């Protein structure tokens, strides 16, 4: 044991250092907030609870093509179709990793990740989101122009040019 360690041990200096730090923090500004009365702003593009989008006349946009089912890496989406109609749509939220691939893959802009993060429940069965709940989440969390803004801001390519970016190698093919 060094002299320095012996002094530390017998003078309780670390305890006094800790108490001094506590005292300093008691008079500084709190970094915590009074949730749920106070809330921090949500970051743009936040990926929260899913919703199924509706068109302007209030009908579900989903046509049941199943692209979201195919792309989902967690395999947590299932779609049921009958006679050309979407009769069921389910997302097992507990398995979702919020990658957003379903939103990107959907050719109809029919699924969104809303800003809602408050959906903790007591039973895991309640986190199997069914079609009706997903549709009502659209009304609840994407009111007015929010849905349109969402797709324009985050989920549409910002460029009209879908060609190969300059400098990136691309397959040119054989000249006929
Ligand atoms: S966000 Fe990703 S993991 Fe979640 S449902 Fe969509 S594709 Fe699947
Ligand atoms: S949400 Fe989109 S990708 Fe998924 S089944 Fe419906 S239309 Fe197809």
Give the predicted TM-score (pTM) of the model: 0.75
Q: Please give the full DSSP string across the chain, using - where no structure is assigned.
A: --HHHHHHHHHTHHHHHHHHHHHHHHTSPP----TTTS-PPPPTT---SEEE-B-TTS-B------HHHHH-TT--EEEEEETTEEEEEEEEGGG-----HHHHH-TT--EEE-S------SSGGGGEEEHHHHHHHHHHHSTTTHHHHHIIIIIS-S-S--SPPTTS--------
| Ligand 1 mutation target, pool 46, 74, 78, most atoms within 8 A of CB | 74
Question: For residue 114, how many C-alpha atoms fall within 13 Å in the half-sphere facing its CB?
Answer: 22
pLDDT for the residue 144:
86
Q: Say how many Å lie between the CA of residue 170 and the centre of ligand 2.
A: 30
Q: In the chain, what is the straight-line distance between the N-terminal and C-terminal CA atoms, in Å?
A: 84
> What mean pLDDT is predicted for residues 90-106?
94
How high is the pLDDT of residue 12?
87
Residue 92 has pLDDT above 70, yes or no: yes
Residue 43 alpha carbon to ligand 1 centre in Å? 19
Decide if pLDDT at 15 tops 80.
yes
> pLDDT at position 84, please?
87
Q: Which residue has the higher pLDDT, 176 or 41?
A: 41
Lowest-confidence pick of 3-17, 35-49, 73-87, 94-108: 3-17
Distance from the alpha carbon of residue 44 to the mean position of ligand 2, in angstroms: 24
144 C-alpha to ligand 1 centroid (Å): 25
Q: What is the mean pLDDT of the segment spanning 38-53?
A: 91
pLDDT, greater one: 169 or 64: 64
Tell me: the pLDDT tens digits for 135-176? Answer: 999 999 999 888 888 877 766 655 445 555 566 555 555 544
Work out which ligand 1 atom sits closest to the CA atom of 100: 1
């Amino acid at each position: 044991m060094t002299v320095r360690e012996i002094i530390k041990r017998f003078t309780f200096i670390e305890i006094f250092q800790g108490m001094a730090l506590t005292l300093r923090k008691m008079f500084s500004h709190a970094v915590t907030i009074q949730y749920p009365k106070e809330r921090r702003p949500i970051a743009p593009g936040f990926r929260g609870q899913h919703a199924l989008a509706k068109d302007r006349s209030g009908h579900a946009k989903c046509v049941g093509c199943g692209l979201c089912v195919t792309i989902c890496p967690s395999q947590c989406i299932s779609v049921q179709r009958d006679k050309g109609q979407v009769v069921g749509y389910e997302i097992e939220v507990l398995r979702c990793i919020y990658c957003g691939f379903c939103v990107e893959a959907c050719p109809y802009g029919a699924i969104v990740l809303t800003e809602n993060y408050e959906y903790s429940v007591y039973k895991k069965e309640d986190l199997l989101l069914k079609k009706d709940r997903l549709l009502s989440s659209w009304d609840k969390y994407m009111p007015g122009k929010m849905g349109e803004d969402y797709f324009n801001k985050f989920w549409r390519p910002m460029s009209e040019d879908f060609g190969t970016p300059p400098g990136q190698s691309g397959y040119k093919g054989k000249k006929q």
